[in-house]
Amino acid sequence: VVVDPSFSPTASKADAHLRIRPGTDAALALGMAHVILAEGLADLDFMRTYTDAPILVRTDTGTRPRWTFTDIGEAFIAWWPEGDVLVPASTERLGFNGDVQPAREGRYRIQVGGETVEVEPGFVAVRRELERWTPEATAEVTGLDPELIVRVARAYATTKPAAILMGGGANHWFHGDLTGRAFALLAALTGNIGRSGGGFSVYVGQYKVRVDTSPWWSPGGTKAKVVPSIYFVRGRTETMHPDVPYPANGWHGLVCTFANMFVQAMDVNRLHETLAGLDLVVVVDHQMTETVRWADVVLPATTWYEKTDLTATPLHPFLQLQQPAIEPVGESRSELDIWRELVRRIDPAKAAEFFDLDAETAIEAILAAGAGPGGPTEGITLADLQAGPVRLRVPDPDIPFLDQVDRLVPFPPRSLPAPLEATAAFLPTRRIEFYKEEPRFRELGETVPTYKPPFDDGVHAPAEWPLRLLSPHSKWRIHSSYANNAWLAEIHGGRPEVFMSPADAAARDIETGDPIRVWNTRGEIVAWAHVTPAEQDGSVTLYEGWWPRQFRSGKGVNELTSSEVNPIHEVHFVGNMWCPSTGWKDCRCQVERADGSNAAGSNAPGSAAGDA
């Protein structure tokens, strides 16, 4: 089953293609969960044992009361109907003691802090939300056939095991977290977590790290300061978490490496505003990218074919050694050599302490970090890697959350390289949480998985800006890398194309090959049209990664995107674990022929929008 707004190559191979309206994935998951629950297909024992479903919530405040037990002290609580008594929901071990089967439904009156309060299991709030997502209601939001929604829900619930794989497209929305929570609910509701072949996996985003490199990253107890790049683009927000180490005096300089920010960053116009206030911009790269063109100083980096490095991926359990095929060209250096020389110039003592190493010794240090008894790199040497790829010492199959499901170890497992206590703060119950009691979740009506319309619908009214602009990843390049490769560009049409449906094109008198203007209140670009039935009405696609110089307008797709930060993403802060996500796909626009001779509507050239 493939969920995709477009008839993509992947969708063409599916048994069922759910051609969903862009940005409505969460509604689909909730609608499927409705069917699964209503038809008795849910694994409610899994929900009771491993999730927060039975933990009691006050109906007046929406918070979880704690209770002090004489033997274990303060704990979250559940109600055991058979024993007519409150029982602790331990944070030391999943499940409940003995034959205790706490309630998932009902309302109860208990004494808390000297007052009588009404409580209900957290699952009640989840079930209440799901009740409104009938197949018909889900179809109205998603544009899918109600019968198809029911059929796919039944197939998912009755296929064991079943896996959900969420790609970057579903994640790149202002409310992308709600999509993730809704599909995670599906996986838990069917008991598909902690089982080989099951699970809910995110293909892109916070990548899984297999080796604990924190001793090497932070030698001597130093602590790296990580500020999400969106704050560099946008600046402080009113709801920014206090642990974000935002510079007290603002930004004064930028050293950019491993990135082409002026192509890939959302809301590039704001990035230009930030740049105007900087004293120095240094870019490390091996090509004359758009970002390099904005630099005061360029430090030439080696390519992948001129340096030694260690590579890994969350997609398989092998380490590989990247080895140079040629010597560095000209004055280029590897990034490690560049940082080592910069530190030596700034503080020779720190250079001797932290950077007295080359690539080979750095790799040996990383291997040593995971080489303890039972560690993932135990027994693996640099010589082994020089001979070829080496499998990490990890279980086969390597099943996420197996300890939790089989041995009742509390959630979450450690997410490397962060310490466990940092990410455990996300789950105070130490269970999979589908009810979030933190104040901001309650204030914004997001205590349980729900659906909210795309953010940009509130900025660009759909009646005036009828087209959603999607900017997916191209299979012919890696983001903006290789966009300037003529052979690969030729495969991709040779120039930036905006894919649109025949109906949307006809309404604007647009044909394939026409130069077209794409704009909203943030900016505008000029590209070329590609009319295809693979696109659905009301949505256009422009693959991300094209460099601005390849557009007729000299400006790229991120002229139109927003850097707005979702306050929910700021409730906690652990770098690369809980921090602001990005909403590239959450964007509305209008399209017309570049010569203006079309019927696009009121937002014509010369309007406020056109002059933006």
Residue scoring higher pLDDT (2 or 601): 2
Q: What is the mean pLDDT of residues 343-348?
A: 91
pLDDT of residue 608: 31
Following CA atoms 456, 462, 465, 471 in sequence, which dihedral angle do they give, to the nearest 10 degrees?
Answer: 50
Q: What is the mean pLDDT of residues 519-545?
A: 97
Q: Which long-range contacts (CB under 8 A, 24 or more apart) does 506-513 make?
A: 507/599, 508/591, 508/592, 508/593, 508/598, 508/599, 508/600, 509/593, 509/597, 509/598, 509/599, 510/591, 510/592, 510/593, 510/598
Determine the Cα–Cα distance for residues 492 and 486; give it in Å rounded to an integer.
Answer: 10
For a pLDDT cut of 90, what percent of the chain falls above it? 80
Q: Are strands 253-257 and 17-18 parallel, antiparallel or unpaired?
A: unpaired
pLDDT of residue 247: 94
Report the largest interatomic distance among the alpha carbons of the chain, rounded to a whole angstrom.
79
Portions of the chain given CATH number 2.40.40.20: 211-246+260-271+454-612
Residue scoring higher pLDDT (232 or 597): 232
Portions of the chain given CATH number 3.40.228.10: 1-54+123-208+394-447
Please check whether residue 101 is in contact with residue 80, taking contact to mean a CB–CB distance below 8 angstroms: yes
Determine the Cα–Cα distance for residues 527 and 500; give it in Å rounded to an integer.
Answer: 12
Burial of 590 (0-12, 13-18, 19+ CB in 10 A): buried
Main-chain dihedrals φ then ψ at residue 229, nearest 5 degrees: -60, -20
The CATH number of domain 247-259+272-391, selected from 3.50.7.10, 3.40.50.740, 2.120.10.30, 3.40.50.300: 3.40.50.740
Tokens of 471: 């900017």
Determine the Cα–Cα distance for residues 164 and 196; give it in Å rounded to an integer.
Answer: 12
pLDDT digits (tens, 9 = 90+) for 205-223: 656 677 887 777 776 767 7
Please check whether residue 263 is in contact with residue 291, taking contact to mean a CB–CB distance below 8 angstroms: yes
- pLDDT confidence of 601, banded at 50, 70, 90? very low
Please check whether residue 1 is in contact with residue 14, taking contact to mean a CB–CB distance below 8 angstroms: yes
The CATH number of domain 211-246+260-271+454-612, selected from 3.30.2080.10, 2.40.30.10, 2.40.40.20, 1.20.1250.20: 2.40.40.20
Radius of gyration of the chain (CA): 26
pLDDT of residue 194: 96
pLDDT digits (tens, 9 = 90+) for 137-170: 999 999 999 999 999 999 999 999 999 999 888 8
Determine the Cα–Cα distance for residues 87 and 392; give it in Å rounded to an integer.
Answer: 42
Burial of 479 (0-12, 13-18, 19+ CB in 10 A): middle
Please check whether residue 103 is in contact with residue 80, taking contact to mean a CB–CB distance below 8 angstroms: yes
pLDDT of residue 7: 94
Please check whether residue 89 is in contact with residue 77, taking contact to mean a CB–CB distance below 8 angstroms: yes
Please check whether residue 359 is in contact with residue 334, taking contact to mean a CB–CB distance below 8 angstroms: yes
Beta strands in 167-229 (DSSP E): 200-202
pLDDT of residue 87: 94
- The answer to whether residue 605 scores a pLDDT higher than 70 is no
Tokens of 441: 């979740």
- pLDDT confidence of 253, banded at 50, 70, 90? very high
Determine the Cα–Cα distance for residues 313 and 200; give it in Å rounded to an integer.
Answer: 18
Q: How far is CA 487 from CA 27, 135, 205, 484, in A?
A: 40, 46, 29, 9
Other C-beta atoms lying within 10 Å of the C-beta of residue 139: 19
Q: What is the DSSP letter of 168?
A: H
- pLDDT confidence of 596, banded at 50, 70, 90? low
Counting every residue written for the chain, the total comes to 612
Helices (H), 302-347: 335-346
Q: What is the mean pLDDT of residues 328-336?
A: 95
pLDDT digits (tens, 9 = 90+) for 175-187: 999 999 999 999 9
Beta partners for residue 18, in sequence order:
3
Which candidate, 328, 252, 258, places its Cα nearest to that of 291? Answer: 258
Please check whether residue 547 is in contact with residue 527, taking contact to mean a CB–CB distance below 8 angstroms: no
- The answer to whether residue 420 scores a pLDDT higher than 50 is yes
The secondary structure element, H or E, covering residue 467 is: strand 467-470
- The answer to whether residue 610 scores a pLDDT higher than 60 is no
Q: 3-state secondary structure string, 48-59?
A: HHHECCCCEEEC
- The answer to whether residue 136 scores a pLDDT higher than 50 is yes
Determine the Cα–Cα distance for residues 526 and 110; give it in Å rounded to an integer.
Answer: 64
Considering Cα of 525, then 531, then 532, then 533, what sign does the dihedral take? positive
Please check whether residue 19 is in contact with residue 28, taking contact to mean a CB–CB distance below 8 angstroms: no
- The answer to whether residue 600 scores a pLDDT higher than 80 is no
pLDDT digits (tens, 9 = 90+) for 57-72: 999 999 999 988 867 7
Portions of the chain given CATH number 3.40.50.740: 247-259+272-391
pLDDT digits (tens, 9 = 90+) for 11-57: 999 999 999 999 999 999 999 999 999 999 999 999 999 999 999 99
Helices 122-131, 25-38: axis angle to 10 degrees equals 110
> Which top CATH class is 1-54+123-208+394-447?
alpha beta
Residue with tokens 């932070």: 218
pLDDT of residue 611: 28
pLDDT, averaged across the chain: 92
- pLDDT confidence of 607, banded at 50, 70, 90? very low
Q: What is the DSSP letter of 22?
A: T
